[in-house]
Amino acid sequence: MRCERLIALIKSWYISVKEETMAPARMVTFMEKHIATCPVCLEDPQVRQEVEKITDIVFPEAKQIRAMALEAAADEDDDFADDIEKEALGGDGDIIEDDYVSDDDENDLDDGGKDE
């Protein structure tokens, strides 16, 4: 890469991407715009290959950061689901027996609830 300005810009943008203040896709867009308008970059036959290498470096990091964030969110959801399940089971893993019907109650239900 021959363009000193592009090198400085890429360093600055890369720091922003690492700090998560700039999206990697935006960095790539900025690099492409610079290459399209810069006379030094237009004459450099290898600048496109360099930008492709930088793009490959930038995007996997963003994917790793996102994967870690998604994994953390999934762990929180699992903890929440476990809490709900425990609550449904009575807090200690036992089945709640509030709806238990005794044999005597079943007999009362069979004959319409009338006592004989």
Quick check: is 14 in a domain?
Answer: yes
Q: How much is the pLDDT for 57?
A: 87
- Domain count of the fold of the chain: 1
Q: Does residue 21 sit within a domain?
A: yes
Q: What is the pLDDT of residues 8-62, one digit of tens each?
A: 999 999 999 989 899 988 999 999 999 999 999 999 999 999 999 998 888 876 5
User: In angstroms, rounded to a whole number, what is the distance separating the alpha carbons of residues 11 and 17?
Assistant: 10
Residue 100: phi and psi, rounded to 5, are -70, 135
Assess if residue 113 is contained within a domain: no
What is the average pLDDT value for the chain, to the nearest integer? 75
Residue 10 inside a domain? The answer is: yes
Torsion angle of the four alpha carbons 101, 104, 106, 112, in this order, in degrees rounded to the nearest 10? -130
Nearest to 34 by CA among 53, 13, 18, 17: 13
Q: 102 lies in a domain?
A: no
Structural domain contains residue 101: no
Give the residue numbers spanning the domain of 10.
4-88
Q: Give the tokens for residue 37.
A: 């308008």
